[in-house]
């Protein structure tokens, strides 16, 4: 019997298994996952789970956040708590940390990303990231009322953690090296509005600043006590959250001739370039989206695991069955959302590519942001993305279709 091995047991791995079955793969599927938990939903980790974890054990929360699995994958074998450390694509096998070798006929790379850390020496105690359930379990007890929290990084994860910690009674400072928070995702205009809104809730925003050093608590060299910035500002800190980006988990694929510059470079069928028997899914995959341009990028949006899995599974099954593939190129319509205090931010398309941003509905006033705002993002005059803040769901489709019409797949 033939076997497809899926490396990664997150949302991307689960969706890959489901879509392999939907694409007609009836033989064995084996999913190898480093975490001990079944696939679970990550977005709540910076919001509901972080604020409501309480004293419940990690498995209880893993059960609450777990994705419901379709009957079609009831026969899939899951080996959780199993780290893959190497691969020989020529021999079609992967190697696990315990030395076990697993052969395959087809391989799905769904190994995802991990949190990047500050490249600064210093005490380890009191420093956190937020990517996994284990991260949330470690961070939650530290967010006690009155705690001095320094969030390094003003992107979506950083701002969501800052908002949640503020609602929990912490005193929060965000340190962002760019001139404003959320610039990469929302641009200067809308990002600035959200930053001003968060500042209105008491979150201190220090932009254009970087961390130079981490000092320990006096008498406790193992625990962080303050953060020193590049302008000599000293921020007392009980908690430091490092939200400074991510790193693709691709080291296990080294020495196989793949382009691993930033994730796994894929062709128009989401096959790892040069390998018809290997596909990549989720935020580890780097691919061209012809809706926008011909530049290959990774996309870390919640919809991407499902979109990539659906297409990549079809590619792999066709290749393993030696069938033609005449489908159009993969061209997803990306979307993301973020909840920050009373704001619900929703986006369609690729606003990060824009060179012009216009507010088309609502007021460009942070005090009015909760009343709703729609911004259009254009590149060379073409609409490439929209961002909606506190806009009713019944208006989302019309805005998504505007982008789709401007950027057809």
pLDDT band (50, 70, 90) for residue 190: very high
Distance (Å, rounded) from C-alpha 386 to C-alpha 149? 32
Tell me what the mean pLDDT of segment 305-317 comes to: 98
For tokens 């994860």, the residue is 157
Q: Length of the chain, please?
A: 409
On whether both 79 and 121 belong to a single domain, the answer is no
The structure tokens listed for 354 are: 């824009």
Domain final residue pick, 209, 244, 279:
244
Q: Looking at the domain assignment, is residue 65 inside a domain?
A: yes
Same domain, 201 and 186: yes
DSSP codes joined into one string, 85-105: EEEETTTTEEEETTS-EEE-S
Q: 149 and 165: one domain?
A: yes
Same domain, 252 and 107: yes
The secondary element (H helix, E strand) that includes residue 48 is helix 48-52
Tell me the pLDDT band of 56, cut-offs 50, 70 and 90: low
The CATH code of the domain that includes 209 is 3.50.50.60
18-48, pLDDT tens digit by residue? 999 999 999 999 999 999 999 999 999 998 8
Number of domains in the chain: 3
pLDDT of residue 54: 66
Distance CA 368, CA 348 (A): 22
Give me the mean pLDDT over the 269-293 stretch: 97
Q: Is 75's pLDDT higher than 90? A: yes
Give the end of a domain, one of 210, 244, 278.
244
Q: How far apart are CA 151 and CA 167, in angstroms?
A: 15
- Tell me whether residue 42 is in a domain: yes
Distance in angstroms between the alpha carbons of the first and the last residue of the chain: 37
Q: Is residue 207 part of a domain?
A: yes
Q: Are 335 and 386 in contact (CB under 8 A)?
A: no
240 and 257 in one domain?
no
3-class SS of residue 58: helix
Whether residue 272 sits in one domain with residue 204: no
Residues 135, 210 share a domain = yes
Residue 196: what are its φ and ψ, rounded to 5°? -65, -40
- Is it the case that residue 385 has pLDDT exceeding 70? yes
In a domain, 296, yes or no: yes
As a whole number, the mean pLDDT across the chain is 96
Mean pLDDT of 291-296: 97
Structure confidence by residue, pLDDT tens digits, 113-123: 999 999 998 99
In a domain, 335, yes or no: no
For the residues 238-248, what does the mean pLDDT come to?
97
Instruction: State whether 198 and 151 are in the same domain.
Output: yes
In the chain, % of residues over pLDDT 70: 99
If asked whether residues 199 and 235 sit together in one domain, one would say yes
DSSP H helices, 235-285, are: none
Range of the domain at 104: 3-114+247-320
Residue 33: how many CB atoms within 10 A of its CB? 25
- Does the pLDDT of residue 253 top 70, yes or no? yes
Q: How confident is the model at residue 55 (pLDDT cuts 50, 70, 90)?
A: low
Give the pLDDT mean for 315-344. 96
Distance CA 384, CA 404 (A): 8
Whether 337 is in a domain gets the answer no
Residues 235 and 274 grouped into a single domain: no
pLDDT exceeds 70 at position 225:
yes
Same domain, 109 and 251: yes
Structure tokens, 149:
């929290």
In a domain, 328, yes or no: no
pLDDT, position 58: 79
Angle between helices 11-22 and 304-320 (to 10 degrees): 40
**Among 356, 348, 338, residue whose Cα is nearest residue 399:** 348
Confidence label for 248 from pLDDT (cuts 50, 70 and 90): very high
pLDDT given for residue 274 in this prediction = 94
- pLDDT category of residue 215 using cuts at 50, 70 and 90: very high
Q: Does pLDDT of 293 surpass 80?
A: yes
Which pLDDT score is estimated for 24? Answer: 96
Are 191 and 253 contained in the same domain?
no
Boundary-marking domain end, from 215, 244, 273: 244
Residue 327 placed within a domain: no
Is pLDDT of 296 > 70?
yes
Total-model pTM: 0.96
% of the chain surpassing 90 pLDDT: 94
- pLDDT value at 53 more than 80: no
What CATH code is carried by the domain that includes residue 377?
3.30.390.30
- Of the pLDDT bands very low, low, confident and very high (cuts 50, 70, 90), residue 50 is confident
């Amino acid at each position: 019997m033939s076997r497809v091995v899926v490396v990664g047991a997150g949302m991307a791995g689960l969706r890959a298994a489901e879509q392999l079955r939907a694409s007609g793969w009836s033989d064995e599927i084996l999913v190898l996952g480093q975490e001990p938990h079944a696939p679970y939903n990550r977005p709540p980790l910076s919001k509901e789970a972080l604020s409501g974890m309480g004293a419940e054990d990690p498995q209880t929360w893993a059960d609450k956040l777990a994705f419901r699995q379709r009957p079609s994958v009831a026969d899939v074998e899951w080996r959780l708590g199993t780290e893959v450390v190497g691969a020989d694509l020529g021999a079609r096998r992967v190697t696990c940390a315990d030395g076990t070798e697993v052969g395959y006929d087809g391989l799905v790379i769904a190994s995802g990303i991990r949190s990047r850390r500050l490249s600064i020496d210093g005490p380890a105690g009191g420093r956190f990231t937020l990517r996994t359930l284990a991260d949330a379990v470690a961070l939650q007890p530290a967010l006690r009322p009155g705690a001095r929290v320094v969030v390094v990084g003003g992107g979506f994860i950083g701002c969501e953690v800052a908002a949640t910690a503020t609602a929990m009674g912490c005193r929060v400072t965000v340190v962002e090296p760019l001139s404003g928070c959320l610039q990469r995702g929302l641009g200067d205009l809308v990002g600035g509005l959200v930053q001003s809104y968060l500042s209105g809730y008491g979150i201190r925003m220090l932009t254009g600043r970087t961390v130079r050093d981490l000092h320990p608590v006096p008498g406790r060299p193992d625990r962080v006590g303050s953060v020193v910035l590049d302008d000599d500002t000293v921020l007392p800190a009980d908690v430091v959250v490092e939200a400074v980006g991510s790193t693709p988990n691709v080291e296990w694929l080294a020495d196989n001739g793949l382009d691993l510059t930033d994730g796994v470079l894929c062709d128009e069928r989401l096959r790892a370039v040069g390998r018809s028997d290997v596909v990549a899914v989720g935020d580890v995959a780097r691919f061209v989206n012809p809706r926008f341009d011909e530049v290959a990028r990774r996309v870390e949006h919640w919809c991407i695991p499902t979109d990539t899995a659906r297409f990549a599974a079809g590619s792999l099954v066709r290749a393993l069955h030696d069938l033609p593939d005449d489908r159009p190129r993969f061209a997803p319509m990306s979307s993301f959302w973020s909840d920050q205090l009373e704001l619900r931010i929703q986006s369609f398309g690729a606003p990060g590519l824009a060179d012009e941003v216009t507010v088309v509905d609502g007021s460009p006033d942070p005090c009015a942001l909760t009343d709703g705002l729609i911004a259009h993002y254009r590149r060379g005059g073409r609409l490439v993305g929209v961002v909606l803040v506190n806009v009713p769901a019944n208006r989302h489709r019309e805005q998504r279709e505007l982008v789709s019409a401007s950027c057809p797949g």
